[in-house]
Chain A
């Protein structure tokens, strides 16, 4: 087990109240595994990744739970020890390639910074490594492009640079926060392909955060579906796609446009909106949008059930009820 997240709770203290962006979630990532975390914006998936990285900004704060990396509780580490881990063993790709690179630094300097910081290489060696890693992520004539500034590159190129930066120190865990969202479809595929290749090559684990189930089906080994800071369902990718259990997951799956589906049906949309984080429903947060919502759903929070390794948070699958709703 590379990473274990136990009962993580992250809160944002705002003037008008406390928002629980991540509410008591637990999961693990194994070495070399690709775990996808799926959810709409505001579901807490990015906050989860920032909590792991220790990059939460005020007023956000981890208020409960633990995060173990290689069985070590990250909260016990000093700032310095954390910095040693970040960018080195755990690294991260952000979703905005246009703004996530420092505009006034050359590409090479940005990548070399982390290499020199963590790998203690000389300047010359660091540069060689930089060019090598840029080539690996598929930047043509890397030696020259390394001298470019970010604004001289396209979005896809920048995301490759981001990826190169994240991979520079051979991390064991890569957190990729919506790495493809801001990109063209063709570029998207290339970046995903790249991630996949890198996983194979360096045998690193990837935590892939996305709202796009299409991406998940292509890349992930295992999937967690989050909604309003809670895990709604967790399963390996095949199980989840073939046998989704939570109505929310079902809804998400239905809303994927399918190329082979040539019916004239309009694309499915989950009705309603994500509830205001300051004013959460008492029961299941999805209850007001759920087509199968019951009286109980609005009153009580369902527990996450483990059904043969397939976890789900829904009264429809409550072991005590014994029922299991099929599509």
Chain B
């Protein structure tokens, strides 16, 4: 994060603009973001990952096989082939092409990451908005509930959910989505409390606007940038959580290629087939790194004065 007072006078000027014109926040963010090389790199990687995921997904929908091999086709005669020209990343225990599986896994990781965040975001924003705007008892009840959830380590909570619900993509999304609700609720509540006292919100109240309208029209646009940053970083957390569940054997149902699940399987073969362990790990790290880069960039762009929570 940047110093409080930048030596560049224009940056200070921009910070001032945020306060005055909330609706131009996203645009201004984008402008600043473009200056940030790391964030652009992150965005670029995410773009590539998204293209891979979409291509794989669409071709699957159309019933075409565009990956070098069918990622889920087990061929026991090809078990554990070392990386070579045909199988760039080698094959796994069941003779499946690791390269194809890792590309295929992009689809799952991004999908779980984004949808899980969407779930926690939606519920968290609603909870946080109600708590922050209504205040009083409602606030207390909601935030206490959030405190309780926070008091249980999220990975344990997710494991318990998965153990109860059983394995599966949908269940993993729900488990990961549920456990990070409190974080969003807290952030949104905090942001709302800080803008609630602003003049234009008061003005809207005096003019008799409905509560929901005030939240939607006046308060949300002001907290949206905070949420965007959090959600971006949230995707990276969700991808890591998915991998952790997969690693513990609680992730998706077979034969889906999920990176954490691949790592979990590879664990028994760290000496005989280390390539089955290296590549999925790299794939996870790169994906998480990309979202972290973008998230950091967004945060800096949003507010040079901001700090890590």
User: Shortest beta-carbon distance, B33 to chain A, in Å?
Assistant: 17
A12 within 8 A of B: yes
Q: Mark A61-79, 1 if CB is under 8 A from B, else 0.
A: 0000000000000000000
Q: Which residues from chain A contact B7 at a C-beta distance below 8 Å?
A: 12, 14, 57-59
With the chains together, A14 CA to B7 CA distance in Å?
8
User: Shortest beta-carbon distance, A114 to chain B, in Å?
Assistant: 25
B272 within 8 A of A: no
B77 within 8 A of A: no
Q: Which residues from chain B contact A59 at a C-beta distance below 8 Å?
A: 7
B84 within 8 A of A: no
A326 within 8 A of B: no
A15 within 8 A of B: yes
Q: Which residues from chain A contact B8 at a C-beta distance below 8 Å?
A: 14-15
Smallest Cβ-Cβ distance to A60: which chain B residue: B7
- B residues contacting A by CB (< 8 A) are 7-8
Smallest Cβ-Cβ distance to B10: which chain A residue: A16
User: Shortest beta-carbon distance, A47 to chain B, in Å?
Assistant: 12
User: Shortest beta-carbon distance, B117 to chain A, in Å?
Assistant: 35
User: Shortest beta-carbon distance, A24 to chain B, in Å?
Assistant: 22
Q: Can you show 7 pairs from A to B with CB atoms below 8 A apart?
A: A12-B7, A14-B7, A14-B8, A15-B8, A57-B7, A58-B7, A59-B7
User: Shortest beta-carbon distance, A72 to chain B, in Å?
Assistant: 30
With the chains together, A58 CA to B7 CA distance in Å?
9
Interface Cβ pair total, 8 Å cutoff: 7
Q: Which residues from chain B contact A58 at a C-beta distance below 8 Å?
A: 7
With the chains together, A60 CA to B8 CA distance in Å?
12
Tally of contact residues, A, Cβ under 8 A:
6
User: Shortest beta-carbon distance, A21 to chain B, in Å?
Assistant: 11
Considering only residues 20-67 of chain A, those with a C-beta below 8 Å from chain B are 57-59
With the chains together, A14 CA to B10 CA distance in Å?
11
User: Shortest beta-carbon distance, B226 to chain A, in Å?
Assistant: 26
If over half of A's interface residues share one DSSP class (helix, strand or loop), that class is named, otherwise mixed; here it is loop
Smallest Cβ-Cβ distance to A57: which chain B residue: B7
With the chains together, A254 CA to B45 CA distance in Å?
61
User: Shortest beta-carbon distance, B36 to chain A, in Å?
Assistant: 14
User: Shortest beta-carbon distance, A63 to chain B, in Å?
Assistant: 16
User: Shortest beta-carbon distance, B296 to chain A, in Å?
Assistant: 21
Smallest Cβ-Cβ distance to A12: which chain B residue: B7
With the chains together, A12 CA to B9 CA distance in Å?
12
Q: Which residues from chain B contact A12 at a C-beta distance below 8 Å?
A: 7
User: Shortest beta-carbon distance, A60 to chain B, in Å?
Assistant: 8
User: Shortest beta-carbon distance, A59 to chain B, in Å?
Assistant: 6
Q: Which residues from chain B contact A57 at a C-beta distance below 8 Å?
A: 7
With the chains together, A306 CA to B160 CA distance in Å?
86
With the chains together, A193 CA to B7 CA distance in Å?
34
User: Shortest beta-carbon distance, B241 to chain A, in Å?
Assistant: 38
Smallest Cβ-Cβ distance to A278: which chain B residue: B9
Q: Mark A6-19, 1 if CB is under 8 A from B, else 0.
A: 00000010110000
With the chains together, A57 CA to B7 CA distance in Å?
10
Name the 7 nearest CB pairs between A and B, nearest first. Answer: A59-B7, A14-B8, A14-B7, A12-B7, A15-B8, A57-B7, A58-B7
User: Shortest beta-carbon distance, A95 to chain B, in Å?
Assistant: 14
User: Shortest beta-carbon distance, B272 to chain A, in Å?
Assistant: 54
With the chains together, A265 CA to B8 CA distance in Å?
39
User: Shortest beta-carbon distance, A98 to chain B, in Å?
Assistant: 14
With the chains together, A14 CA to B8 CA distance in Å?
7
Smallest Cβ-Cβ distance to B3: which chain A residue: A57
User: Shortest beta-carbon distance, A3 to chain B, in Å?
Assistant: 27
User: Shortest beta-carbon distance, A18 to chain B, in Å?
Assistant: 13
With the chains together, A45 CA to B93 CA distance in Å?
74
With the chains together, A219 CA to B186 CA distance in Å?
54
User: Shortest beta-carbon distance, B4 to chain A, in Å?
Assistant: 10
Smallest Cβ-Cβ distance to A276: which chain B residue: B9
User: Shortest beta-carbon distance, B158 to chain A, in Å?
Assistant: 40
User: Shortest beta-carbon distance, A100 to chain B, in Å?
Assistant: 14
With the chains together, A15 CA to B7 CA distance in Å?
11
User: Shortest beta-carbon distance, B9 to chain A, in Å?
Assistant: 9
Q: Which residues from chain B contact A15 at a C-beta distance below 8 Å?
A: 8
With the chains together, A57 CA to B8 CA distance in Å?
13
User: Shortest beta-carbon distance, A127 to chain B, in Å?
Assistant: 33
Smallest Cβ-Cβ distance to A58: which chain B residue: B7
Considering only residues 273-301 of chain A, those with a C-beta below 8 Å from chain B are none
Q: Mark A103-146, 1 if CB is under 8 A from B, else 0.
A: 00000000000000000000000000000000000000000000
With the chains together, A59 CA to B8 CA distance in Å?
10
With the chains together, A250 CA to B275 CA distance in Å?
80
Q: Which residues from chain B contact A14 at a C-beta distance below 8 Å?
A: 7-8
Smallest Cβ-Cβ distance to B35: which chain A residue: A15
With the chains together, A58 CA to B8 CA distance in Å?
11
With the chains together, A14 CA to B6 CA distance in Å?
11
Smallest Cβ-Cβ distance to B8: which chain A residue: A14
With the chains together, A175 CA to B8 CA distance in Å?
26
User: Shortest beta-carbon distance, A269 to chain B, in Å?
Assistant: 23
User: Shortest beta-carbon distance, A128 to chain B, in Å?
Assistant: 37
Smallest Cβ-Cβ distance to B7: which chain A residue: A59
User: Shortest beta-carbon distance, B6 to chain A, in Å?
Assistant: 11
User: Shortest beta-carbon distance, A273 to chain B, in Å?
Assistant: 14
With the chains together, A140 CA to B234 CA distance in Å?
54
User: Shortest beta-carbon distance, B229 to chain A, in Å?
Assistant: 25
